Chains A and B, each alone.
Chain A
Amino acid sequence: MSKGRYGIHGGQYISETLMNELIRLEEAYEHYKKDPEFNAELQKLLNEYAGRPSLLYYAEKMTKDLGGAKIYLKREDLNHTGSHKINNVLGQALLAKRMGKTRLIAETGAGQHGVATATAAALLGMECEIFMGKEDTIRQALNVYRMELLGAKVNAVTTGTQTLKDAVNDAMREWSNRVEDTHYCLGSVMGPHPFPMIVRDFQSVISKEAREQILEAEGKLPAAVVACVGGGSNAMGAFYNFIEDKDVELIGCEAGGKGVDTPETAATISTGTLGIFHGMKSYFCQDEYGQIAPVYSISAGLDYPGIGPEHAYLHDIGRAQYVPITDEEAVQAFEYLSRTEGVIPAIESAHAVAQVIKIAKNYSPDQSIIVCISGRGDKDVAAIARYRGVDLHD
């Protein structure tokens, strides 16, 4: 069996044109991850540019209101560019530069990863092109303009469902067209090996910090860590350093859309089956002939028909559980956290908040739950207003 396996999942199901590049990428990563100079440069950027470490904030009002476990918010929304995506992007951009690349390309759904990539490209003086489903360029018009302000070219992808999966398709096509000077800065723990490993490692800073912070605050580990899952990068980052702590429950929140009993869902673990797509073996929403399903979620960042292979594995072995959260539950949680704590979360992160609202009371006050607020919700305000039937004027 090939490299990059998580149980039966993972692998390198990619065109021959890209194989040598993936091998070079893996070699470069294995080299630089042990290089003190590379790590010092990355740490400096994370601390002084991205604003790490991010806060672990005790949500006291929410805790009292829900009545149960103490709730802590891991505030990835406070990072520069407003989400966890910058953790991975700074790592990959530095790596790409060391590999002699002068151009970054990336897919984006909600636009968070596109903005982060465009930011890193601007900072490091690299050319940048972002692929974004046309549907998402409409849902997230503000982020398109942000990327353009940062000097990136944004390509609206008009094929397929015109969402995240189609953006990945076109980014892969572009990479196979121009691999010499270009690095594909994949935004999630998905795709062919070594991407799921590289992205997980760069995102694992979330749980590395959170573990230290909760031990400092509570003197013991949390009862649960909760994060939203599309491809699964913030969840993988939030889970990773807790995997060996067998008593810590790991809970991933998938986009249930209009419900897992409807076709308008993106809940891969709940409704998907084993398949091979986007370079990996994992679970995918698909039909009886293996055609990838046109998934749906109110959240452009979770609107993806697959899940990273390591999540699929954690599901298989029962180490993590994955639950669907509907649009309505996520919107309610979005509003709840805004009102209760004065924190407007990304609609993606609101899926995790929704699960915490459901389960907090099942725990005792001497237990704690960490919920990863993977991004901030400014980008979603207009969409939530639309969802609530509020007419916003300029």
Chain B
Amino acid sequence: MTNEKIAKAFDTPNKKAFIAFITAGDPDADSSVKNILEIARAGADLIEIGIPFSDPTAEGVVIQEANIRALKGGITTDGVFEIVRRVREQSDVPLCFMTYANPVFHYGYDRFFTKCEELSVAGIIIPDMPYEEKGEMEPIANAHGVSVISMIAPTSESRIKKIAAEANGFIYVVSSMGVTGVRNEISTDLDTILGHIREVTDTPAAIGFGISTPEQAAKMAGVSDGAIVGSAIVRIVAKYGAEAAPHLYEYVRSMKEAVAGV
């Protein structure tokens, strides 16, 4: 399946994308709409919107706490769709969802992806739905024009080619072991991983987990097709609450410039 909306995100002058993640409903729906629009205005090529889950096992403390704040604030899956609807009134920025298997399964795959299609959400990232399990969901997502984004980890080794060959939209390369969160250093041999990916597909591959500074973003975009930043953005929301928008703008702009300058 070719996904034109995602392809557009990587179709920048240097073919590198800056991808921003933000937890929906943190701290409330109004702030989320404002923050997403501001991140888009600052130049993010694609925005991942996190649908909060009570038990986000792939997340570090920063995004765990954002999930808790959002759920305490009363956000629901329908509330997240409403946030996206309001964003879509003002922006056609490429969007993906990131969440866990259960909220999507429980909502009903067909019902969920029908909404995604209506709101022009191009992809979905589900860390607890690996290659072996995606079959129950992917055909339904694809029928609604939504790509199921494949993840490749430092431990994927012999699995890389099999996953990459079937990948859709873009490939999410996990930079480090463990959970999401800001890291001082990324020591994984990403060149080798990207090399294996390139042998089997030209689907763009972006690197996430642990990236927070413009230098790191430039370095990661240098060895791949893009950099994904989550915890550093969520940390700004945690710090400034409902007043986060201008700070997000400034930060995303600096990150986008770093990636654009590669």
Contact = CB atoms under 8 A, between A and B. Distances in A.
B137 to A, nearest CB: 10
Nearest to B99: A290
B103 A290 contact: yes
Contacts of A16: 127, 130-131, 151-153, 155-156, 159, 163, 174
A365 interface: no
Interface string B96-134: 000011111111000000000000000000011111110
B77 A13 contact: no
A165 B53 CA distance: 14
Interface-centre pick from B68, B132, B156 (highest chain A CB count, 10 A): B132
Given A12-B132, A19-B159, A289-B106, A176 B179 contact: yes
B71 interface: yes
Nearest to A293: B54
Interface in A1-45: 1-3, 11-21
Interface string B59-77: 0100010001001000011
B158 A20 contact: yes
B165 interface: no
Contacts of B55: 160, 165-166, 169, 277-278, 292
B2 interface: no
Given A16-B130, A16-B156, A286 B57 contact: no
Q: Which residue of B101, B103, B159 has the most chain A CB atoms within 10 A of its CB atom?
A: B101
A15 B58 contact: yes
Nearest to A4: B132
A339 interface: no
A13 B179 CA distance: 16
Contacts, number: 124
Nearest to A2: B132
Interface residues of A, number: 39
Contacts of A340: none
Contacts of B60: 173
A12 B130 contact: yes
Contact of A286 (B102, B129, B133): B102
Contact of A275 (B77, B105, B158): B105
B130 to A, nearest CB: 5
A159 B67 CA distance: 11
Contacts of A1: 135-136
A177 interface: yes
A19 B131 contact: yes
Contacts of B154: 17
A277 to B, nearest CB: 5
B174 A292 contact: no
B106 to A, nearest CB: 3
Interface in A160-186: 160, 165-166, 169, 172-173, 176-179
B196 to A, nearest CB: 14
Nearest to B104: A290
B177 interface: yes
Contacts of A290: 53, 77, 102-107
A276 interface: yes
Given A179-B155, A275-B105, A276-B102, A173 B128 contact: no
A173 B57 contact: yes
Contacts of B58: 15, 173, 176
A346 to B, nearest CB: 26
B89 to A, nearest CB: 24
Given A20-B158, A275-B106, A177 B57 contact: no
Contact of B57 (A12, A172, A275): A172
Given A160-B54, A160-B55, A289-B76, A17 B155 contact: yes
B157 interface: yes
A13 B103 contact: no
Interface in B133-189: 133, 135-136, 151-159, 163, 174, 177-179
A21 B71 contact: no
Given A160-B68, A276-B128, 18 more contacts: A1-B136, A15-B153, A16-B152, A16-B155, A17-B155, A17-B177, A19-B132, A19-B153, A20-B155, A176-B58, A176-B178, A177-B178, A178-B178, A179-B155, A274-B105, A289-B77, A290-B53, A292-B55
7 contacts: A14-B130, A17-B153, A17-B155, A20-B156, A289-B77, A290-B53, A290-B107
Identify the 10 closest CB pairs spanning chains A and B, nearest first.
A290-B106, A177-B178, A17-B153, A276-B101, A2-B132, A290-B102, A291-B54, A290-B103, A16-B153, A16-B151
